[in-house]
Structure 1
């Protein structure tokens, strides 16, 4: 049995007469309701982004209300559950609230009390699901790629972005750490507040960080390389985060960005263990472009199209050999480097690993032997640029034996070493 997103209230009680009464009450009150008597069916009817409220009895054969609550919270901690309990079971109801239930009602049920709770909690849930949908779309637009690592990263972002928890964002330069940080800020409850970026090496004393915290109040502080701050300042930040946690009052959300393994920085006494603990309760590890090789070409095409739209020009054809070269390259500068290459390609410059040409290579229409001599040098040189001086690849591309290629290169004073990839 399945339940669709049109259902606003799911009622669970083992007494058929009771669920019939609930169903009638809710439908008369304008709610789209579904009522069942078997609690074991509930999980198959729900999903993480179901936009409704669950109302369940506490005592049921086969699966108790408390057991069902635990299973629902495992599916989505934010799924709203209202417990219905008998007279005298207040301690159990309070325990249910402690374990994640929104509220509880006592039998005999007062219809106005139930309707009041639904009026209160249903709009909140529906707004939350709308925010998740917006976040999912934004993440897909900003964090492009279908590799498993990127799919998981986007899922992780949608799971925690709507909270105000502090996070640790790890990854090499150019992988998109700042994109993730800004997305986490914009989609959180603090998204209307300020977003401030501060580098750890620019924080010379605690007063510097305190001024940044004041400027970021009501918003987020993107803290680059916190291990570069003085240890006394790191200790102050620990106390600040602890006080926010103790008071359950978030004045500033800290989005810490690090390069390399933070555990190593702890071992080297650069990052305080207690600060690492506070920041690492939620960790985002942004993969390098080399780790998600299958995303290289979709990213290149995306950035190329984006650049051409800005330039109001048609997207140029891309030679298959050049795409193969892009896929084989290791991209030490990650997404940032790939974006730069795509932007240059859009204006007619082929660039890879420090090499530049003034126009993209054209598809070879015939073997090299049939081309005129005046064009021969340019064709060979372009191929050397394209394949970074790798003679086997150049020979295959130009449809010419290696020996003959070397003779032609000697004729035109071309040295393959001049075209090697420089990193």
Structure 2
């Protein structure tokens, strides 16, 4: 059993009379408090998202206040701990502050001083936990999946969203790297500032990046395909970030995205080592769909339902054999490919079924030729979007020659360049 979230203060002291007096004081002041004379039992009831404050005595025979502090901090480094110490033990109290305590009080306890500290730290704690819960809900809604890899990823985002450190986001195309970057920005202290997106392939000279950084002041800049930037520009960026850290003044938060792993980019001499070492302090790896196979079926059903809602039509029945086909597929395009397949399924086009087949249409809302043209354009657009305009991959995915693909793109007025920067 954990301490209830409606308990605001946990008081730990080995003297029962003392904790009774503390509890009476706090209840008179309007706080909901719980006491404990056994630190181990009290700590066992805490959880990392408990929205309260811990008050502990420094001197206890079995478990000292400093040990209580260490265990609380290992549970949640942001959980406030107020130390109570005897007269003349200021050096020990200062040491506790260095170890993570938010404040300390000397005996005999002054009620007004205790209430003042609670008024200072308790609202901050409640606000932090409320923010965490909102972020957890947001990440669950946008980074779907209940596999262990996705649960861990969402927890990492919750922990990193508020620290405003620069971030390196790695992974394959279609795994949600841009979603991770956007979540980190929108749930940070910089959320009200600019959100600038920049593609490394468009940075030909250092001044291009410098202008973008100026526009991103007091906000975040998301740099896609970081290794594509010139080496001297990467070195300038590294110096800029190091100077921010040295001065303790963050003008811009950098969220750098690259395909594959950073180590591979360094080995190929595409990524400057010093920039990699700096950004690697906070790293996120968006897992490919094949590594979280338990998410495939739920994700497909989610995307299918969402597409059918947009089309104002009922969700079609999915054959068990087709679910097995989905689970066996390699998913080179990851979640993005899965979403596109689900959207096509919603309009009657069944991919990955050995050969493509089309479900019967409930009614003919347009002439057949118009429907065919519309479907063809949508399929090509989806593939261009999926593979960022890379014609060889689009041609292979659609199983048609490049020449024929170009002709059909021309027919529908589609230009591969319009999809280059998309993910």
| Correspondence for 1:382 | none
Structure 2 residue matching 1:82: 3-state secondary structure: strand
Structure 1 residue matching 2:109: 3-state secondary structure: coil
User: Is 2:301 the partner of 1:312?
Assistant: no
Counterparts of 2:120 and 2:328 in 1: how far apart (Å)?
A: 56
| Correspondence for 1:225 | 225
Normalised by the length of structure 2, the TM-score is 0.82
Structure 1 residue matching 2:351: 3-state secondary structure: strand
| Correspondence for 1:92 | 92
Structure 2 residue matching 1:173: 3-state secondary structure: coil
User: Is 2:333 the partner of 1:333?
Assistant: yes
| Correspondence for 1:240 | 240
Contact 1:353–1:421 (Cα < 8 Å) also in 2: no
Provide, for residues 220-276 of structure 1, a one-character-per-residue CA deviation record: whole Å limited to 9, x for no partner: 111112222222222222222222222333222111111112112222322122211
| Correspondence for 1:28 | 28
Structure 2 residue matching 1:270: 3-state secondary structure: coil
**1:178 to 1:349, Cα distance in 2 relative to 1, 3 A:** same
| Correspondence for 2:303 | 303
Please tell me the root mean square deviation across aligned C-alpha atoms, in Å.
2.2
Contact 2:2–2:47 (Cα < 8 Å) also in 1: no
| Correspondence for 2:359 | 359
Contact 1:349–1:360 (Cα < 8 Å) also in 2: no
Contact 2:322–2:353 (Cα < 8 Å) also in 1: no
Structure 2 residue matching 1:146: 3-state secondary structure: coil
User: Is 2:172 the partner of 1:172?
Assistant: yes
Counterparts of 1:219 and 1:94 in 2: how far apart (Å)?
A: 35
Counterparts of 1:352 and 1:421 in 2: how far apart (Å)?
A: 11
Shift in Å, 1:360: 6.5
Counterparts of 1:315 and 1:209 in 2: how far apart (Å)?
A: 47
| Correspondence for 1:81 | 81
Contact 2:171–2:177 (Cα < 8 Å) also in 1: yes
| Correspondence for 2:365 | none
**1:360 to 1:46, Cα distance in 2 relative to 1, 3 A:** farther
**1:247 to 1:89, Cα distance in 2 relative to 1, 3 A:** farther
Shift in Å, 1:116: 0.9
Shift in Å, 1:163: 2.2
Q: How does 1:26-65 map to 2 (within 5 A)?
A: 26-65=26-65
| Correspondence for 2:349 | 349
State which drifts further: 56-65 or 44-53.
56-65
Provide, for residues 307-349 of structure 1, a one-character-per-residue CA deviation record: whole Å limited to 9, x for no partner: 1111111111122222221111111111111111111111112
Provide, for residues 363-404 of structure 1, a one-character-per-residue CA deviation record: whole Å limited to 9, x for no partner: xxxxxxxxxxxxxxxxxxxxxxxxxxxxxxxxxxxxxxxxxx
Structure 1 residue matching 2:220: 3-state secondary structure: strand
| Correspondence for 1:188 | 188
Counterparts of 2:334 and 2:259 in 1: how far apart (Å)?
A: 13
| Correspondence for 2:274 | 274
**1:330 to 1:27, Cα distance in 2 relative to 1, 3 A:** same
**1:220 to 1:353, Cα distance in 2 relative to 1, 3 A:** farther
**1:76 to 1:3, Cα distance in 2 relative to 1, 3 A:** same
Contact 1:198–1:222 (Cα < 8 Å) also in 2: yes
Shift in Å, 1:141: 1.2
Which segments of 5 or more consecutive residues in structure 1 lack a partner in the other structure? 362-418
Structure showing greater radius of gyration is: 1
Counterparts of 2:310 and 2:356 in 1: how far apart (Å)?
A: 22
Counterparts of 2:354 and 2:241 in 1: how far apart (Å)?
A: 44
Counterparts of 1:246 and 1:70 in 2: how far apart (Å)?
A: 29
Q: How does 1:139-150 map to 2 (within 5 A)?
A: 139-150=139-150
**1:360 to 1:303, Cα distance in 2 relative to 1, 3 A:** farther
Counterparts of 2:55 and 2:44 in 1: how far apart (Å)?
A: 16
Which segments of 5 or more consecutive residues in structure 2 lack a partner in the other structure? 362-395, 401-423
Provide, for residues 59-103 of structure 1, a one-character-per-residue CA deviation record: whole Å limited to 9, x for no partner: 111111111111111111111111122222222222212221111
| Correspondence for 1:155 | 155
Structure 2 residue matching 1:332: 3-state secondary structure: coil
Structure 2 residue matching 1:104: 3-state secondary structure: strand
Counterparts of 1:280 and 1:91 in 2: how far apart (Å)?
A: 37
Counterparts of 2:354 and 2:178 in 1: how far apart (Å)?
A: 25
Structure 2 residue matching 1:84: 3-state secondary structure: strand
Contact 2:325–2:353 (Cα < 8 Å) also in 1: no
Counterparts of 1:278 and 1:353 in 2: how far apart (Å)?
A: 46
Q: Give the number of aligned pairs.
A: 367
| Correspondence for 2:5 | 5
Provide, for residues 124-145 of structure 1, a one-character-per-residue CA deviation record: whole Å limited to 9, x for no partner: 1111111111111111111111
Counterparts of 1:260 and 1:420 in 2: how far apart (Å)?
A: 21
Contact 1:350–1:360 (Cα < 8 Å) also in 2: no
User: Is 2:296 the partner of 1:290?
Assistant: no
Provide, for residues 24-46 of structure 1, a one-character-per-residue CA deviation record: whole Å limited to 9, x for no partner: 11000000001212222232121
Counterparts of 1:106 and 1:236 in 2: how far apart (Å)?
A: 51
State which drifts further: 151-160 or 177-186.
151-160
